Amino acid sequence: MIKVLNSGFYATIQDRGRVGFAAKGIPVSGAMDQYSSAMANSILNNSDNAAVLEITFGGCKLQFLAATIICISGADFSAKINNEAIILNSRIQVQENDVLSFGKINFGVRTYLAVKDGFKSDKIWRSRSFYPQITNDFIIRKNDLLPITTFKSDLESSNTSVKTVKSHFDSNEINCFKGPEFELLNKHQHKRLLQESFTISNDNNRMGYRLTEIIKNSLPSILTSAVLPGTVQLTPSGKLIILMKDCQVTGGYPRILQLTENAIYKLAQKTTNQFIRFRL
């Protein structure tokens, strides 16, 4: 088990999500930045669907009640074990009663803690990903006990690490495809959408990112149609909404763009007042 001493800003257990249940109205969920979560699992030789702890903006403090091996990938929140700094993207042996903490934010928004064989929270609809109304909990809380498998190894912690790809965190270019209603926009709207920068508003979370700038819009609402993570909707007010991993499965706003999978992962590492540019 891992005991939560401090839950931090927002932390959840996530895997690759609930794929194939949209007809039942069940969101995909899963790790927002699956590039980083997959890296952490890969370094531990875990299954790519092993559940990880997604930690947003750090502040988390955890006590290991059993020995295991961990890896942390994604955002850099100055992770320490027993107040000794550890490095990202490396294999770390932890012992019973070791304490993992996170401090100063150096870059990124979400970091991923992987443990050997993954977190063992309840699996519902073929996934361990937290989501309100589906799982018993939708965030971790102080004094929670997070189930893991005890794992002892003769291997020491590794001083080597996989190099962080800084463009994953620094680049402002968000690759996308044309959405089903893209051609309903006029030339001026196309130009504005694809040549100007957009600012992430303070309304951003696992459900979606709202952008600040407005594209004047006279398009009518559409019949309720399928949406998925990465769909960019244009609201009647002209605001853009980029749907993220916990988004609904249908919507009635024009779907003007669709982000690539990698673009979703990059966007998950950005936050309020940062800007992005769409690239077809």
What percent of the chain clears pLDDT 70, i.e. is strictly above it? 97
Q: What is the pLDDT confidence band of residue 125, given thresholds at 50, 70 and 90? A: very high
162/172 Cα distance (integer angstroms): 23
Does 166 have pLDDT greater than 90?
Answer: no
Q: How far apart are the first and last CA of the chain?
A: 45
pLDDT of residue 220: 78
Q: Write phi, then psi, for 263 (nearest 5 degrees).
A: -65, -35
Does 158 have pLDDT greater than 90?
Answer: no
pLDDT digits (tens, 9 = 90+) for 223-278: 889 999 999 999 999 999 999 999 999 999 999 999 999 999 999 999 999 999 99
Q: What is the pLDDT confidence band of residue 221, given thresholds at 50, 70 and 90? A: confident
pLDDT of residue 159: 62
Q: Is residue 190 within 8 Å of 213, Cβ to Cβ?
A: no
**Is the pTM value of this prediction over 0.85?**
yes
Q: What is the pLDDT confidence band of residue 82, given thresholds at 50, 70 and 90? A: very high
Q: Which residues pair with 278 in a beta bridge?
A: 174
Read off the tokens for 150.
Answer: 């005890």
Structural domain boundaries in the chain: 2-167, 171-279
Does 58 have pLDDT greater than 80?
Answer: yes
- Average pLDDT taken over every residue of the chain: 94
Does 145 have pLDDT greater than 80?
Answer: yes
106/93 Cα distance (integer angstroms): 24
pLDDT of residue 163: 80
58/111 Cα distance (integer angstroms): 8
Q: What is the pLDDT confidence band of residue 151, given thresholds at 50, 70 and 90? A: confident
Q: Which residue has the tokens 């800003």?
A: 9
Mean pLDDT of 53-76: 96
What percent of the chain clears pLDDT 90, i.e. is strictly above it? 87
Does 152 have pLDDT greater than 90?
Answer: no
Identify the architecture of domain 171-279 in CATH: Beta Barrel (2.40)
pLDDT of residue 218: 84
